[in-house]
């Protein structure tokens, strides 16, 4: 892989525009004119200089992550083209990770075929990874998580709660389940607005105001998660089971009301402040 020079940056941007527009013939022409373009890593401009997309190749762009707009209808064929033209195995692996956490790939229904195409390009999907399902479930990609379950991904109490798989969740619950894991499962259920899972977990002793770190994030409670998404019914259930609305998160020192206010739910924020 090579970083782009100034000339290739312009070609790279043209190729990205072709990908975004689903202009496969234009992309073919650009790759024919500069076969090395598929190996270029861009480090200039927004998205490319820092963070998880820094130094991206063209292949990275088929994942829709970061969210730069809708994925083209022919995104799987575009991925096939880039892989056939020499995208490296490491780029396929990196793109697979982006697909797993992509809201666009999940909502468009492109994720399953993209996963297959990237695996054919030497990416590896570890269905035995205990946190595999956490990647899409903590990144607004539940349809991708459901696809991984169909493929045999390892599922635990957190994932069953997030997906609303009540029978599976019931089977996984036991009196000796770790209380931290139970609280984290409740947070997963609140993130996805799974009312029945929330009720079941609260009945098993999960605490809605306990600070947890889903996916290694900064400490927050299930009440914070529900409030920030405007899930009034879930919030009311958590409050009814004794969740303390005055608990503050571990990064911003904000209450659940503060989180609701920040995300554009002022009525819910007022309800939480009244509960305080």
Over residues 3-16, the pLDDT tens digits come to 667 788 999 999 99
pTM above 0.75, yes or no: yes
Cα dihedral sign for 101, 105, 109, 112? negative
In this predicted structure, the answer to whether residue 143 has a pLDDT above a threshold of 60 is: yes
**Do 245 and 239 meet the contact criterion of CB atoms below 8 Å apart?**
yes
- CA 78/CA 190 separation, integer angstroms: 36
pLDDT score of 3: 64
Please compute the mean of the pLDDT values over residues 241-256 and round it to a whole number.
98
């Amino acid at each position: 892989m090579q970083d782009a020079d100034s000339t290739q940056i312009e070609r790279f941007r043209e190729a990205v525009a072709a990908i975004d527009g689903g202009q496969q013939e234009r992309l073919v022409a650009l790759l024919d004119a500069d076969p090395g373009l598929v190996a270029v890593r861009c480090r200039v401009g927004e998205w490319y200089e820092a963070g998880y997309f820094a130094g991206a190749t063209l292949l990275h762009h088929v994942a829709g992550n970061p969210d730069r707009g809708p994925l083209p209808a022919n995104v799987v064929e575009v991925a096939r083209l880039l892989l056939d033209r020499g995208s490296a195995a490491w780029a396929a692996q990196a793109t697979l990770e982006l697909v797993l956490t992509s809201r666009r790939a999940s909502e468009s229904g492109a994720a399953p075929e993209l996963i297959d195409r990237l695996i054919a390009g030497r990416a590896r999907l570890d269905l035995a990874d205990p946190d595999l399902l956490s990647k899409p479930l903590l990144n607004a990609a539940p349809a991708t998580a459901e696809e991984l379950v169909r493929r045999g991904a390892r599922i635990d109490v957190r994932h069953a709660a997030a997906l609303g798989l009540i029978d599976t969740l019931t089977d996984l619950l036991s009196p000796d389940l770790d209380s931290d894991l139970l609280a984290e499962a409740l947070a997963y259920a609140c993130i996805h607005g799974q009312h029945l899972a929330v009720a079941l977990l609260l009945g098993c002793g999960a605490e809605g105001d306990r600070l947890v770190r889903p996916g290694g994030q900064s400490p927050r409670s299930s009440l914070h998660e529900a409030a920030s998404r405007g899930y009034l019914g879930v919030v009311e259930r958590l409050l009814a089971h004794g969740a303390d609305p005055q608990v503050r998160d571990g990064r911003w020192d904000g209450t659940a009301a503060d989180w609701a206010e920040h995300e554009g739910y002022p009525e819910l924020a007022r309800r939480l402040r009244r509960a305080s």
